[in-house]
């Protein structure tokens, strides 16, 4: 079998059948040069597209033809070297490039074996190493030329970006243009920073083929309007423009006052008679329509996990710098090692593995494929596509087989959104197929009866999806010390910094506006409570008294969550801000066990739900099943109910299906009996409830105000840096952390006991709150705030009316009685109270709380 995936000498050219049916003539350009000819670099197939009947099927791109990853890489690097030579870059000249050209031609024409491909690979690497650094920017075209653009930029050692058809929420395109003949015409350029487009030096536009030049010219015009430069280079594997197309490009260059160069591995014309139309063909069936489809198994590596760290760029969708190359290759090596460990053994050492990229995601899968090859596994590389192509299993045709499946891209753009394809995959049996996706593509449709895994199942005994996190554009996490007093590695706040905005107001007026329905409680902030010396001393005394109880609850709920989920790779998602100290403590406890649990804080707002932008950010980077939502305590269960509804809605919106974010909530204390993951159901004092920002990293309660927060922004919060002298956040965490060793054994035994017990929520707290509402004649149950933590919040933030306490719980209520006395709030006792205490907000004329 030819190494490059094309016929060896003496067999039929893979464009012969189409050329004969359409009357196509391939005419090479005048002049001879060492290197591949046009017909070495492509075959022909028939499109399902009225704009153009034929398709050039590249033999080196791996978009439609499974190919040795080394051949793909060498062809891309050679194209970059040709660009360097045209620009006069030192080290790039014909004498240096001729060995690469000749080696590529030899591999493509002879179907040479591994030795010839290794020679090609080494020649390309040596030639690249000799090229001097320079300026410039590479722009690759989606979906076909994304990896090719990476490789050209890699040869030139310049930054790159590729266009995309994915609409990324919160990301503003810096450029847009159309590709007239494509099945999906719209292209967006969405760098993290639009300044990337102003990178000095030539702009190199990279595509697989240059057929008319109209798309490239449209791109140059759009780019020149925002970042004009003197030199543009259009680089393609093949240049098959007609004379009038070349003249149009020259005229445009004169009009713009710029030099436009064209570089290709081979040039000439593909002449198609006017009026030629493709003969019809039957559609490729969906998996459920085929007779041989078997159900796909569960994914073997549903998340690349630590193998591909969050923050390592998986593509150039939002820009890619030369410095991003080494981390990507290291991550690809780690993923390949994980994949190799999961592949079925082949005692004969035979059977190739197909690594299949997905649409725009080509470069990272290419690197995974090559890294897997270096482990000794025979590998071919290819990718899926959204372009419908006729499949004909006849000699001399470039697309001999195809599979069709329902799109699984969560942000599908609507162009042929129902179906996607993988070609020449079913033409041979594979030892295994490894599908490399990014996290936004790992939706429920991927695993459905008409999904990609089902479509591939008949063609390999193992179909192994590997999901990479994305490094997406848009807002990122805030970290200390720039935001908050916690260390940067303790928590990433998925919040918008509103520190510059005055949001605090008078307590009485704020309460009236909330209860009258004029304002939502999350649209403003209460004034931060500044405790006096007596209260601070009482707080410090209570931390010392209950640090071991807090530590025991942390260990218990952490171990219970870990074993209930059956995994040690949890991602802690704390509900800011009360849950954030607990999230840090869980992360610290996990680290002592040798587990790295990333921790991010998100906002949830009663009646408004969880921050969907933040949740999307998380599921773009982590397997949703890893997410563990954490809070400090439950009151009557309003947030637990809000979370369940919000997560269900988010999973539906993000098309995650049964593999979405779990809706369970983990808390230290669950006196309301409304969750299944808890450290205790005792209503005890958690010291972080006694203060506000000064025990929570100097961060305010979260804000959701439409005047400040856009539809794709994270919810907001403030950093009270001016309170740094009063901050006890770190002292509190350290006191609890120091108690872990003493409580570890007993707390784990308690987790084991709870795991075997019936933890079904009874919602007794909600029933008690409704009873208190009736007893006190309150217009809404929302004015009843049960539990030590919620009562403390009422006294610190709201306008309290009275506090109800259970006799005999004075040790946990000293700070509550002190605050109530300061504010003149009556404290009454109730023997049948299921909580240590309940705070009641003073009702106004109406209640909108």
What are the two backbone dihedrals, phi and then psi, of residue 763, each rounded to the nearest 5 degrees? 55, 35
For residue 464, give the nearest of 378, 349, 355 by alpha carbon: 355
Asked whether residue 183 carries a pLDDT value surpassing 80, the answer given is no
pLDDT digits (tens, 9 = 90+) for 74-114: 999 999 999 999 999 999 988 899 999 999 999 998 877 88
How many angstroms separate the Cα of 630 from the Cα of each of 570, 577, 643? 11, 11, 11
Question: Would you place residue 7 in the very low, low, confident or very high pLDDT band (cuts 50, 70, 90)?
Answer: very low
**Residue 835 burial (CB count, 10 A):** 27
pLDDT digits (tens, 9 = 90+) for 526-540: 888 788 888 888 889
- What's the rounded Cα separation, in Å, for the pair 660 and 286? 25
Asked whether residue 30 carries a pLDDT value surpassing 60, the answer given is yes
Task: Assign residue 193 a region (left: φ > 0; alpha: ψ between -120 and 50; beta: otherwise).
Answer: beta
pLDDT digits (tens, 9 = 90+) for 644-663: 999 998 898 888 888 889 99
Q: Could you write out the three-class secondary structure of 622-636?
A: CCHHHEEEEEEECCC
Question: Would you place residue 6 in the very low, low, confident or very high pLDDT band (cuts 50, 70, 90)?
Answer: very low
Question: Would you place residue 394 in the very low, low, confident or very high pLDDT band (cuts 50, 70, 90)?
Answer: very high
Which SS3 state, helix, strand or coil, does residue 247 take?
helix
**Considering the chain, what percentage of its residues have pLDDT values greater than 70?**
93
State the pLDDT at residue 669: 93
State the pLDDT at residue 347: 56
β-strands 231-239, 259-271: how paired? parallel
What are the two backbone dihedrals, phi and then psi, of residue 442, each rounded to the nearest 5 degrees? -85, 65
pLDDT digits (tens, 9 = 90+) for 478-526: 999 999 999 999 999 999 999 999 988 777 777 777 777 788 888 888 8
Question: Would you place residue 2 in the very low, low, confident or very high pLDDT band (cuts 50, 70, 90)?
Answer: very low
Q: Which residue has better confidence, 692 or 584?
A: 584
Task: Give residue for tokens 């017909």.
Answer: 39
Sequence-ordered alpha helix ranges (H) in 738-842: 740-756, 764-775, 788-797, 810-823
- What's the rounded Cα separation, in Å, for the pair 695 and 581? 8
- What's the rounded Cα separation, in Å, for the pair 827 and 649? 41
State the pLDDT at residue 177: 65
- β partners of residue 584: none
For residue 356, give the nearest of 261, 441, 476 by alpha carbon: 441
Q: What is the mean pLDDT of residues 820-835?
A: 90
Asked whether residue 444 carries a pLDDT value surpassing 90, the answer given is no
Asked whether residue 402 carries a pLDDT value surpassing 80, the answer given is yes
State the pLDDT at residue 690: 81
694 Cα distance to chain centroid: 33
State the pLDDT at residue 3: 35
pLDDT digits (tens, 9 = 90+) for 112-136: 788 999 999 999 999 999 999 889 9
Asked whether residue 603 carries a pLDDT value surpassing 70, the answer given is yes
pLDDT digits (tens, 9 = 90+) for 34-59: 889 999 999 999 988 666 788 999 99
How many angstroms separate the Cα of 756 from the Cα of each of 166, 552, 679, 750? 46, 18, 14, 10
**Mean of pLDDT over the chain:** 88
- For the chain, helix, strand, coil in percent to 5 are 40, 20, 45
Question: Would you place residue 415 in the very low, low, confident or very high pLDDT band (cuts 50, 70, 90)?
Answer: very low
Task: Give residue for tokens 């923050």.
Answer: 311
Which tokens in the block code for residue 294?
């078997």
Looking at mean pLDDT, say which of 554-558, 574-578, 832-836 comes out highest.
554-558
Q: Which residue has better confidence, 430 or 295?
A: 430
For residue 301, give the nearest of 413, 416, 468 by alpha carbon: 468
Q: Which residue has better confidence, 4 or 667?
A: 667
Q: What is the mean pLDDT of residues 618-643?
A: 91
pLDDT digits (tens, 9 = 90+) for 207-235: 999 999 999 999 999 999 999 999 999 99
| CB 160 within 8 Å of CB 148 | no
pLDDT digits (tens, 9 = 90+) for 538-561: 889 889 989 999 999 999 999 999
State the pLDDT at residue 644: 92
- β partners of residue 26: 270
- Between CA 328 and CA 5, with CA 264 as vertex, the angle to 5 degrees is 65
Asked whether residue 849 carries a pLDDT value surpassing 50, the answer given is no
Q: Could you write out the three-class secondary structure of 325-340?
A: HHHHHHHHHHHHHHHH
β-strands 160-162, 25-28: how paired? unpaired
Which tokens in the block code for residue 46?
């028939």
Sequence-ordered alpha helix ranges (H) in 400-532: 452-456, 507-516
pLDDT digits (tens, 9 = 90+) for 737-794: 999 999 999 999 999 999 999 999 999 989 989 999 998 999 998 899 998 888 988 8
State the pLDDT at residue 295: 41
Question: Would you place residue 179 in the very low, low, confident or very high pLDDT band (cuts 50, 70, 90)?
Answer: low
């Amino acid at each position: 079998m030819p190494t490059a995936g094309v016929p060896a000498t003496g067999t039929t050219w893979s464009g012969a059948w189409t050329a004969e049916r359409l009357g196509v003539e391939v005419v090479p350009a005048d002049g001879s040069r060492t290197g591949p000819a046009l017909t070495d670099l492509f075959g022909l197939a028939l499109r399902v597209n009225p704009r153009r009947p034929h398709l050039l099927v590249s033999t080196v791109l791996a978009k439609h033809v499974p190919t040795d990853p080394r051949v793909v890489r060498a062809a891309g690097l050679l194209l970059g070297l040709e660009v360097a030579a045209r620009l006069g870059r030192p080290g790039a000249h014909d004498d240096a490039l001729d060995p690469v050209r000749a080696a590529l031609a030899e591999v493509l024409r002879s179907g040479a074996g591994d030795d010839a491909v290794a020679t090609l690979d080494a020649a390309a690497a040596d030639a690249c190493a000799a090229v001097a650094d320079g300026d410039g920017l590479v722009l690759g075209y989606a979906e076909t030329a994304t990896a090719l653009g990476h490789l050209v930029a890699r040869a030139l050692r310049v930054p790159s970006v590729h266009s995309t058809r994915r609409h990324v929420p919160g990301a503003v395109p810096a450029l847009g243009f159309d590709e007239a003949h494509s099945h999906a015409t719209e292209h967006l350029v969405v760098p993290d920073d639009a300044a990337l487009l102003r990178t000095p030096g030539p702009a190199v536009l990279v595509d697989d083929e240059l057929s008319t030049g109209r798309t490239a010219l449209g791109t140059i015009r759009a780019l020149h309007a925002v970042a004009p430069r003197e030199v543009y280079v259009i680089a393609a594997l093949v240049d098959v423009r007609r004379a009038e197309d070349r003249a149009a490009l020259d005229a445009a260059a004169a009009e713009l006052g710029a030099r436009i160069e064209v570089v290709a591995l081979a040039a000439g014309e593909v002449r198609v008679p006017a009026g030629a139309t493709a003969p019809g063909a039957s559609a490729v069936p969906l998996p459920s329509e085929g007779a041989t489809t078997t159900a796909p198994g569960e994914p073997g590596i549903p998340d690349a996990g630590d193998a591909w760290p969050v923050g390592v760029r998986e593509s150039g969708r939002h820009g890619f710098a030369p410095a991003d190359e080494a981390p990507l290759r290291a991550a690809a090596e780690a993923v390949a090692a994980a994949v190799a460990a999961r592949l079925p053994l082949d005692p004969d050492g035979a059977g190739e593995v197909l690594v299949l990229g997905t649409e725009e995601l080509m470069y990272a899968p290419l690197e995974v494929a090559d890294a897997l090859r270096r482990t000794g596994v025979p590998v071919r590389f290819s990718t899926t596509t959204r372009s419908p192509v006729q499949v004909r299993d006849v000699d001399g045709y470039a697309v001999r087989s195809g599979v069709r499946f329902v799109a699984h891209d969560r942000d599908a753009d609507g162009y042929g959104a129902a179906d996607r394809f993988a070609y020449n995959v079913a033409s041979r049996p594979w030892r295994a197929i490894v599908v490399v996706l990014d996290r936004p593509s790992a939706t429920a449709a991927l695993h459905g009866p008409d999904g990609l895994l089902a479509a591939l199942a008949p063609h390999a005994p193992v179909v192994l999806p590997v999901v990479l996190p994305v490094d997406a554009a848009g807002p990122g996490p805030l970290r200390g010390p720039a935001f908050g007093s916690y260390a940067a590695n303790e928590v990433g706040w998925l919040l918008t910094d509103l520190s510059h905005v005055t949001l605090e107001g008078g307590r009485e007026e704020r309460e009236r506006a909330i209860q009258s329905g004029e304002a939502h409680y999350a649209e403003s902030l209460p004034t931060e409570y500044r405790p006096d010396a007596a209260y601070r001393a009482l707080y410090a005394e209570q931390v010392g008294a209950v640090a071991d109880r807090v530590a025991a609850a942390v260990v218990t709920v952490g171990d219970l969550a870990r074993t209930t989920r059956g995994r040690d790779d949890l991602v802690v998602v704390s509900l800011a801000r009360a849950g954030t100290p607990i999230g840090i403590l869980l992360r610290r406890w996990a680290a002592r066990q040798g587990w790295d649990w990333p921790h991010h804080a998100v906002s949830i707002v009663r009646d408004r739900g969880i921050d969907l932008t933040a949740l999307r950010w998380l599921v773009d980077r982590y397997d949703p099943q890893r997410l563990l939502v954490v809070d400090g305590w439950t009151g009557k269960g309003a947030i637990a109910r809000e979370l369940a509804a919000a997560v269900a809605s988010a999973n539906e919106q993000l098309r995650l299906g049964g593999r979405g974010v779990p809706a369970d909530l983990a808390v230290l204390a669950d006196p309301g009996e409304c969750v299944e993951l808890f450290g205790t159901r005792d209503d005890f004092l958690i010291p972080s409830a006694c203060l506000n920002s000064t025990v929570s990293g100097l961060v305010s309660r979260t804000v959701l105000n439409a005047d400040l927060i856009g539809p794709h922004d994270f919810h907001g919060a403030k950093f009270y840096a001016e309170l740094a002298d009063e901050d006890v956040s770190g002292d509190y965490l350290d006191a609890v952390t120091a108690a872990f060793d003493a409580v570890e054994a007993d707390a784990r035994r308690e987790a084991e006991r709870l795991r075997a017990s019936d933890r079904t929520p009874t919602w007794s707290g909600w029933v008690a709150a409704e009873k208190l509402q009736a007893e006190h004649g309150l217009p809404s149950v929302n004015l009843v705030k049960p539990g030590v933590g919620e009562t403390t919040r009422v006294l610190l933030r709201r306008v309290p009316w009275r506090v109800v306490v259970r006799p005999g719980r004075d040790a946990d209520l000293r700070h509550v009685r002190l605050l109530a006395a300061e504010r003149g709030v009556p404290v009454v006792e109730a023997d049948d109270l299921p909580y240590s205490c309940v705070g009641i907000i003073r009702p106004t004329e109406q209640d909108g709380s």
